[in-house]
Amino acid sequence: MAEAMSSGHRDEADIGQNDTNLPTPGMPDETSGTAGHDSTQMPTRTMRDLLNPPRDLALLRQRLFEVKDKIELQIDEFERYWPYVDNVWVRQHKAGTDKTGRAFTDYYACRLQRPTYTPKPVDSPRREGQPTRKKQIREGGTCQMRLKTIRYEGGYSGYTIVRVGDETQHSHDLDHIDKIKRTSVLMEIARSEVMKGYMPASVFTVMNEDMPKLLAAGGSHLNRNDVRNASQTWRQQHRDELRVHEGYKYDHGNGIVKHDGLVGESQIMGEVQMIDPSLDNSPPLQPGTLIFPLPSRTFLGPYLPPQSPLVNESGIPHVTLTYATSMDSSLALAPGLQTVISGPESKAMTHYLRSKHDAILIGVGTAIADDPALNCRLEGVGGFGGLGWDGQPRPVIVDPGARWLISPHSKVLQAVENGKGRGPWVIMAPGFAMDPMRLDLLKYYGGKYLGLTEFDKKWRLRWEAILKALAAEGIRSVMIEGGGMIINDLLQPENASFISSVVVTVAPTYLGKGGVGVSPAARRDPTGRPQPAVRFQDVKWQPLGEDIVLCGKLPGARASTVPGPVTVEALNGSGSFAPP
Stretch that binds Zn ion, among 136-144, 279-287, 350-358, 390-398 (CB under 5 A): 136-144
Stretch that binds Zn ion, among 44-52, 105-113, 496-504, 548-556 (CB under 5 A): 105-113
Q: Measured from the CB atom, is 106 or 489 closer to Zn ion?
A: 106
* 458 SS3 class: coil
Spell out the alpha helix ranges (H) of 242-312.
Answer: 263-272, 294-297
Figure out which of the listed residues 103, 109, 112, 568 binds Zn ion, where binding follows CB under 5 A.
Answer: 112
How many residues sit close enough to Zn ion to count as binding (CB under 5 A)? 5
- Give yes or no for a contact between 393 and 355, defined as CB atoms under 8 angstroms apart: yes
Figure out which of the listed residues 143, 185, 216, 348 binds Zn ion, where binding follows CB under 5 A.
Answer: 143
Reference 401, options 485, 470, 487; nearest CA is 485
The partner residues of 568 in beta bridges, in order of sequence, read 452
Q: Give the shortest CB-40-to-Zn ion separation in angstroms.
A: 33
Give the Cα separation of 341 and 524 in Å (integer).
32
Q: Measured from the CB atom, is 110 or 499 closer to Zn ion?
A: 110
Q: Measured from the CB atom, is 145 or 203 closer to Zn ion?
A: 145
Q: Measured from the CB atom, is 84 or 384 closer to Zn ion?
A: 84
Q: Give the shortest CB-65-to-Zn ion separation in angstroms.
A: 8
Q: Give the shortest CB-90-to-Zn ion separation in angstroms.
A: 10
Q: Give the shortest CB-169-to-Zn ion separation in angstroms.
A: 8
Burial track 179-200 (b if 16+ CB lie within 10 A, e otherwise): ebbbbbbbbbbbbbbbbeebbb
Q: Measured from the CB atom, is 110 or 441 closer to Zn ion?
A: 110
Give the Cα separation of 482 and 462 in Å (integer).
16
What secondary structure letter does DSSP report for 310? -
Question: In the stretch 167-206, what mask flags binding to Zn ion with x, by CB under 5 A?
Answer: ---x------------------------------------
Q: Give the shortest CB-165-to-Zn ion separation in angstroms.
A: 12
Q: Measured from the CB atom, is 112 or 222 closer to Zn ion?
A: 112
DSSP result, 393-434: PEEEEE-TT------TTSHHHHHHHTTSSPPPEEEE-TT---
Give the Cα separation of 397 and 416 in Å (integer).
15
Q: Measured from the CB atom, is 208 or 220 closer to Zn ion?
A: 220
Q: Give the shortest CB-22-to-Zn ion separation in angstroms.
A: 15
Q: Give the shortest CB-170-to-Zn ion separation in angstroms.
A: 4
Q: Give the shortest CB-147-to-Zn ion separation in angstroms.
A: 10
Give the Cα separation of 5 and 21 in Å (integer).
20
Reference 542, options 321, 345, 376; nearest CA is 345
Give the Cα separation of 544 and 293 in Å (integer).
11
Stretch that binds Zn ion, among 1-9, 126-134, 137-145, 326-334 (CB under 5 A): 137-145
Stretch that binds Zn ion, among 111-119, 158-166, 199-207, 514-522 (CB under 5 A): 111-119
Residue 124 backbone phi and psi in degrees, to 5: -80, 145
| Residue 110 touches Zn ion, criterion: CB under 5 A | yes
Q: Measured from the CB atom, is 147 or 341 closer to Zn ion?
A: 147
Could you write out the three-class secondary structure of 136-182? CCECCCCCCCEEEEEEEECCCEEEEEEECCCCCCCCCCHHHHHHHCC
Reference 459, options 504, 495, 423, 417; nearest CA is 495
Q: Measured from the CB atom, is 85 or 145 closer to Zn ion?
A: 145
Residue ranges in contact with Zn ion by CB under 5 A: 110, 112, 143, 145, 170
